[in-house]
Chains A and B, each alone.
Chain A
């Protein structure tokens, strides 16, 4: 089962999209968006790269490692971006945590 509303963010956590939310490519406007109840919001390119890797099975740690490799960027910078973003999306109930 899911969820605790705001656990201390540990990289072992596995994020997943909450039911009724998803990342989607908007082909008409060529941009990534997050679909959610009664609203859709723009995922900027960085957010989109992170969210594409959210599949309900991959831990934050692995997501951060993959991004650091794919973009040849310092891991601590990537980790900062990822943790801040997933925390904010979990707060807004877009993401939940899988145990």
Chain B
């Protein structure tokens, strides 16, 4: 609606760099990766963190690429802590050692989210493309737990590792994690490019649901499980980002400010940057953030749907990727006239006797993709 006041955002995903030693074919970074010489400077990030705190952000998630590839990470964490921001490090762990963790802990880091590609080291290497990554990750987990900082393990689930979800949950317990995320791949960007090799079968999905339910019973409240389903198998879309421009903002390595990490695919709009405007102005006034905020932009069937303020029309980037229109209903929704494109992808996977493809397009930094 015209003049709609945006409530202040809660959460900032700070993508410090796209540099990363891993090459996961479902990476949430955009297909066009940012070169190092475009990255925001330390001083620019310090200013952005102050602006974020003043705007109402409560938690900052330092991410990448691999955020530990930035030498100034402890300085950024220290500054975030001083500004009252809760700091979370989203890392692959492969660059972590006792000394680098100690520096981050001393700077006031609150929490670590450590990604694993699999529990089987060989399979993990097929996904991450980095030899010897698994023992480094295990060591990183031990260091975090030894330090006493709360640890979340993150597993991205797909057809090649879905059968090992029970072992993933066991590993989280064994390592002493406080939380574990069993997060099915979301299919945009790299994930969409590799969908034919990644999308699990319905049978696999159901087995992961069962494994999670059993582990919840076993763990009680000592180890929380965050389970993210693949929305292709759902009848209704997810409330992507809690609604466009309502709770969340993402800053790319070069300073563009986005309502979600895939938003750079949206055509016909200027992407605001912290180099040219304040975070507050961008959040409240930029065209990008107002584009799909609230419900007034909605077409049918969303406009007259009783769920419109529950799922906010689903994911704009998925609508764009699958229908060519960013302002269409998310085609995952059974009420969408485009649901057929999702069902076609599902029947291809569930009908095939052998997997359609296990050939990945890897996310390689600096390969000119």
Contacts and interface: CB of A to CB of B under 8 A. Distances in A.
A28 B8 contact: yes
B228 to A, nearest CB: 12
B186 to A, nearest CB: 17
Interface stretch (A17-25, A50-58, A62-70, A71-79): A17-25
A33 interface: yes
Contact of A37 (B55, B111, B148, B222): B111
A28 B111 CA distance: 23
Given A24-B84, A28-B8, A33-B58, A19 B149 contact: yes
A93 B178 CA distance: 9
B58 A37 contact: no
Given A35-B86, A35-B110, A38-B179, A29 B8 contact: yes
Contacts, number: 50
B10 A38 contact: no
Contacts of B91: none
Given A24-B84, A29-B8, A93-B221, A19 B55 contact: no
Size bracket of the A interface = 10 to 19
B10 A28 contact: no
Interface residues of B, number: 22
A11 B88 CA distance: 34
Interface string A85-99: 000000111000000
Given A29-B8, A38-B88, A40-B58, A20 B150 contact: yes
B222 A35 contact: no
A24 B226 CA distance: 24
B29 interface: no
B59 A35 contact: yes
